[in-house]
Structure 1
Amino acid sequence: MTRPKDLDPSSNPRALLGCELRHARERKGISQEALGAPLFVSGSFIGQLEAGTRRMHLEYAQHFDEVLGTGGFFARNCEALAKSKYPDHFAEAAEMETTATTIKHYLPLLIPGLLQTPAYSAALFRSYRPLATDDEIKELVATRMDRGRLVEDPTAPLLWVIMDEAAIRRPVGGSAVMAEALRRVADLARQHRIILQVVPFSAGAHAGMGGSLKLMEFTDAPTLCFVDGLDTGRLIDDPATVARHTLTFSLLQALGLSPQESLAVVESVAHDYEHEEQHP
């Protein structure tokens, strides 16, 4: 049997690797369920790997090479594709953003990374990493801005953003930085690039107070949920857990101001920050 060539990681690598997995599995006459069983993953998960909607981890790749007799092909390419400009806990979630049809994101304290301005991002990164060099901060900001181009792409996913009022009231980087950041959020809402909601302080206790939440929906794959904290993050595909977090987002939608009211609040707070900058 001819051994498949190593893939070029620059050309839609996840889909290419998935295609090779499907061909190798079919040549061996093994079902998706049978291939996934020793790894304690479902046949549908193997299907997602083959479709390129999930990331192949090294332990899976090594198993595939052993079972399918591919001479280390999947392990070699998996290691090459594992190199990411994002932290390990976020790398797969960042990849999933680019293939999602809908992203629903709630944050209690921050403007979402996809919507941030360079100055806002720089202020955040500096607060996280007080001893980093200026060049290191610039590199982190550049990576975040590159990811943010997803929102400006006309083929980008539907992005539904819910922010707690605390996210727009906390002056990250000072008044000028916040005014610019909120104006960007408002501009994206006015341009119909995002659906925006704000959960006001007057809503009192709500289901999202425990932390941030991101739901990603796909055309040919189940919904995924990403939850994160300080230098940690977890991509969840368990149906029951995803359903519970989906309900949480729905509860936040019900509590939040309407998109029109939310836009008015964001623009009003941006105006207040601009006034503070002009009259310190």
Structure 2
Amino acid sequence: MVLAATPMGDVGDASRRLREALATADIVAAEDTRRTRALAKALEVEITGRVVSFYDHVETARIPTLLADIEGGRTVLLVTDAGMPSVSDPGYRMVAACVARDLPVTCLPGPSAVTTALALSALPVERFCFDGFPPRKSGARREWLRSLAAEPRACVFFEAPHRLADCLADAVQVLGPDRRAAVCRELTKTYEEVVRGTLAELAAWAQEGVRGEVTVVLAGAAPESADPADLVGEVETLTASGMRLKDACGEVAAMAGVSRRELYDAVLTARSSDERMIEP
């Protein structure tokens, strides 16, 4: 089986390998057969294989037949409407079924709203998590947001345009108005738009109404600053092993994300206090 990423909007993003796969696959399993045929037409590719629907409600029923096709030596190409199959789109169950039967699975890489939004967000995204779509109801959505309150990684998620304003308003209440985020709309399409700012600013902007496909990138939570006084013991352990005080303070401060000067002063204060306690 072959998974293939399809363009999110601009057909120019289609890879040569995707074109070849569409033209040569024995079976094309498509989330929306009409959109896949339209994509092939735009790419000037003729689909010669059988095209079958493969959307959420028929995915489970289609799997046995497709597995039999693969076992019979046929090539099955799985595509979704835009982006990568299995990423908030059909595909995961089919991949798992192939792996369970030790059938070959490969992937033709390509466009992804997740990585595109991360790159455009202007936020620190060296580490990130992807969370699909938030819960639709406010209570469940706020509970989900609370789980991100202390998450140090950036979080990228999709949201329906008609629910974006409510989602951002809940985020302001749960995460605070100053957490930074970016809303990416209609990525790679004619009216692509990326709006960056605080949650409060984005919530106010979204009240006017938003259209199109939306991907949100939420900045990770700022690390809590450690109290230098709580780190004195670690410094003293290093100095007891022979390390110079300044070097010990520098090492511990770097690991804890605190000021070396403040930690040094905290050590001196603690030592002074200890000396006073043992005076006769």
Give the TM bin, normalised by the shorter chain. under 0.3
Greater fraction of residues in helix: 1
- Higher Cα Rg: structure 1 or 2? 2
Q: Report the TM-score, using the length of structure 2 for normalisation.
A: 0.25
Structure 1 length as normaliser, TM-score?
A: 0.25
